[in-house]
Amino acid sequence: MDHNSPLDIDSVVRVLPSCTSCELEKQAGVEVTHIRPAQWALTLRDCCAGWTPTPHLVCHIHFVELVTQHLPAQCAMCGRTSRNISDVLDTAMTLGTQVPTPHRKTA
Protein backbone atom coordinates (compact mmCIF):
# COMPACT_ATOMS: atom_id res chain seq x y z
CA MET A 1 0.00 0.00 0.00
CA ASP A 2 1.33 3.41 -0.96
CA HIS A 3 0.87 5.65 2.10
CA ASN A 4 1.31 8.76 -0.05
CA SER A 5 -1.60 7.99 -2.37
CA PRO A 6 -5.05 9.51 -1.74
CA LEU A 7 -7.47 7.40 0.26
CA ASP A 8 -9.72 5.23 -1.86
CA ILE A 9 -13.11 5.72 -0.20
CA ASP A 10 -14.42 2.46 -1.72
CA SER A 11 -11.80 0.43 0.18
CA VAL A 12 -12.74 1.75 3.62
CA VAL A 13 -14.09 -0.97 5.90
CA ARG A 14 -17.21 -0.20 7.93
CA VAL A 15 -16.45 -0.44 11.65
CA LEU A 16 -19.09 -0.03 14.34
CA PRO A 17 -18.17 1.05 17.87
CA SER A 18 -18.80 -1.26 20.83
CA CYS A 19 -22.00 -1.26 22.86
CA THR A 20 -21.33 0.71 26.04
CA SER A 21 -23.93 -1.34 27.94
CA CYS A 22 -22.20 -4.63 27.04
CA GLU A 23 -18.89 -3.15 28.19
CA LEU A 24 -20.39 -1.90 31.47
CA GLU A 25 -21.95 -5.31 32.16
CA LYS A 26 -18.59 -7.01 31.61
CA GLN A 27 -16.87 -4.51 33.95
CA ALA A 28 -19.56 -5.21 36.58
CA GLY A 29 -18.75 -8.92 36.48
CA VAL A 30 -21.69 -10.09 34.37
CA GLU A 31 -20.71 -13.03 32.17
CA VAL A 32 -20.63 -11.54 28.66
CA THR A 33 -19.60 -13.89 25.85
CA HIS A 34 -18.74 -11.02 23.51
CA ILE A 35 -19.17 -7.27 23.26
CA ARG A 36 -21.74 -6.60 20.55
CA PRO A 37 -21.35 -3.70 18.11
CA ALA A 38 -23.43 -0.60 18.78
CA GLN A 39 -26.32 -0.10 16.38
CA TRP A 40 -28.05 2.80 18.12
CA ALA A 41 -26.86 6.20 19.30
CA LEU A 42 -29.04 7.36 22.19
CA THR A 43 -29.39 10.36 24.41
CA LEU A 44 -30.66 9.09 27.74
CA ARG A 45 -31.93 11.32 30.51
CA ASP A 46 -29.79 10.67 33.61
CA CYS A 47 -32.09 10.95 36.64
CA CYS A 48 -29.11 10.77 39.02
CA ALA A 49 -27.73 13.96 37.44
CA GLY A 50 -30.95 15.98 37.42
CA TRP A 51 -32.24 14.47 34.15
CA THR A 52 -29.12 15.60 32.26
CA PRO A 53 -29.00 14.16 28.71
CA THR A 54 -26.12 11.67 28.36
CA PRO A 55 -24.93 9.99 25.14
CA HIS A 56 -24.84 6.19 24.83
CA LEU A 57 -24.05 3.72 22.05
CA VAL A 58 -26.01 0.48 22.39
CA CYS A 59 -26.55 -2.80 20.56
CA HIS A 60 -29.94 -3.97 19.34
CA ILE A 61 -30.50 -6.14 22.42
CA HIS A 62 -29.90 -3.33 24.92
CA PHE A 63 -32.05 -0.98 22.82
CA VAL A 64 -34.97 -3.42 22.93
CA GLU A 65 -34.48 -3.91 26.70
CA LEU A 66 -34.62 -0.14 27.16
CA VAL A 67 -37.76 0.54 25.14
CA THR A 68 -39.67 -2.49 26.48
CA GLN A 69 -38.85 -2.05 30.16
CA HIS A 70 -41.71 -2.02 32.65
CA LEU A 71 -42.58 1.56 33.64
CA PRO A 72 -43.14 3.29 35.98
CA ALA A 73 -39.88 2.24 37.62
CA GLN A 74 -37.71 3.62 40.38
CA CYS A 75 -33.98 4.23 39.95
CA ALA A 76 -31.94 1.94 42.21
CA MET A 77 -29.32 4.69 42.69
CA CYS A 78 -31.24 7.92 43.36
CA GLY A 79 -34.82 6.71 43.92
CA ARG A 80 -36.40 8.95 41.26
CA THR A 81 -39.32 7.49 39.32
CA SER A 82 -39.50 7.29 35.53
CA ARG A 83 -43.15 7.13 34.52
CA ASN A 84 -42.82 6.65 30.74
CA ILE A 85 -40.16 6.13 28.07
CA SER A 86 -39.79 9.87 27.43
CA ASP A 87 -38.56 10.23 31.03
CA VAL A 88 -35.68 7.91 30.09
CA LEU A 89 -35.03 8.26 26.34
CA ASP A 90 -34.51 11.70 24.81
CA THR A 91 -33.35 10.81 21.27
CA ALA A 92 -32.45 7.66 19.29
CA MET A 93 -30.70 7.24 15.95
CA THR A 94 -29.52 4.14 14.12
CA LEU A 95 -25.82 3.84 13.32
CA GLY A 96 -24.40 2.69 10.02
CA THR A 97 -27.06 4.31 7.89
CA GLN A 98 -25.70 4.73 4.38
CA VAL A 99 -25.53 8.24 2.99
CA PRO A 100 -24.30 9.32 -0.44
CA THR A 101 -20.64 10.31 -0.52
CA PRO A 102 -19.75 13.58 -2.28
CA HIS A 103 -17.82 11.95 -5.15
CA ARG A 104 -20.63 9.55 -6.11
CA LYS A 105 -23.62 10.35 -8.26
CA THR A 106 -26.92 9.11 -6.92
CA ALA A 107 -29.55 7.70 -9.25
Percent of the chain at pLDDT exceeding 90: 56
Can you give the pLDDT at residue 32? 83
Task: Show the domain range for 69.
Answer: 17-94
Can you give the pLDDT at residue 58? 95
> For residue 7, is it within any domain?
no
Can you give the pLDDT at residue 33? 86
Q: What is the mean pLDDT of residues 24-47?
A: 90
Model confidence band, residue 14 (pLDDT cutoffs 50, 70, 90): low
Number of domains the chain contains: 1
> For residue 5, is it within any domain?
no
Return the higher-pLDDT residue of 107 and 52.
52
Q: Is the pLDDT of residue 81 over 60?
A: yes
Return the higher-pLDDT residue of 12 and 74.
74
Q: What is the mean pLDDT of residues 71-81?
A: 92
Q: Which of 5, 4, 40 is nearest to 22 (CA)?
A: 40
Model confidence band, residue 102 (pLDDT cutoffs 50, 70, 90): low
